[in-house]
Amino acid sequence: MTAPDAELPAFSEPASPSALGGGFMVICQVVLGLVLLLLWQGASGRLVDNFFISNPLDVARRLIGWIADGSLFLHIWATVYATVMGFVAGAVIGVVLGIWLGVSPFTSRLLNPYLNALNALPKVALAPLFVLWFGLGIESKIALAAVLVLFLVFLNTYAGVREVDQDLIDGARLMKATRVQVITKVIIPSAMSWVFAGLKISVPYALIGAVLGEMIAANRGLGYLVQFSGSQFDTAGVFAVLIVIALLAVALNFLVEIVQHRMQQWRVIGR
């Protein structure tokens, strides 16, 4: 579980970009990227065999080819769909489970050892089971993404519910609140900042789940594409997919930042 205030270290821009010259820094970053690409192009075939590291031009040609025949978008769409569906399914189940176990001490004690065992289990190892259960289609990828998200969201929600100030609950009960009212009007709003923290950290895991699922058994998706390219000894293809996955991950993080910004009010007054 992660406390709402915990910020994962991110390689994002420093707190005050203007202090480092804003636009100037962007130029430096672009120049660094170009220099690295040139070094890569130069090293390929001279210092290291082209077979192992390919080269930027081949990677670009591969990307352009995939874009031209439209196949790339098919794969991106499959991965995005599995990521989003997996995230939503995992988040909903995680929140519901977290609240339910958070407010039922008996059940949570009863299930405690089993939940610990399940949580300690590397969820990726469940993939073959999901393929058996849900088939080779998108459902097994959604399931894998969902199960990764589920535990993170569940643990955060559960911790958030347990953290609720008992005095607030007692106060509401003295004001004639029913059990349902205590849950909906005190416990859930109070746990909200924890829930958001859980949702935020679990977004990248949804992508990991979807891509891993596709690598194990699929006929579309970016995970399938990277796996397929690798098995064809197509290094340029592998690099091309990795770039697409990285861009997708960045786009997802950006989305999360925007949503978080919108939710800022909750985080502040949730304390």
Contacts with other proteins, residue ranges (CB under 8 A): 165, 167-168, 170-178, 181, 185-186, 189-190, 192, 266, 269-271
259 vs 269, which CB is nearer to other proteins?
269
209 vs 270, which CB is nearer to other proteins?
270
Shortest CB 173 distance to other proteins, Å = 5
Contact of 65 with 76, CB cutoff 8 Å:
no
- Residue 177: count of CB within 10 angstroms of its CB: 16
164 vs 215, which CB is nearer to other proteins?
164
> What is the maximum alpha-carbon separation in the chain?
79
Shortest CB 184 distance to other proteins, Å = 11
Contact of 196 with 271, CB cutoff 8 Å:
no
Look up tokens 């995005």; give the residue. Answer: 80
Task: Determine the residue type at 46.
Answer: R
213 vs 270, which CB is nearer to other proteins?
270
Shortest CB 1 distance to other proteins, Å = 21
Shortest CB 115 distance to other proteins, Å = 24
189 vs 230, which CB is nearer to other proteins?
189
Start-to-end Cα distance in the chain:
17
129 vs 269, which CB is nearer to other proteins?
269
Report d(CA 228, CA 249) in Å as an integer.
21
Report d(CA 116, CA 146) in Å as an integer.
18
Shortest CB 102 distance to other proteins, Å = 18
Shortest CB 91 distance to other proteins, Å = 21
Report d(CA 112, CA 195) in Å as an integer.
20
| Cβ neighbours of residue 243 closer than 8 Å, sequence gap 6 or more | 59, 63
Contact of 188 with 197, CB cutoff 8 Å:
no
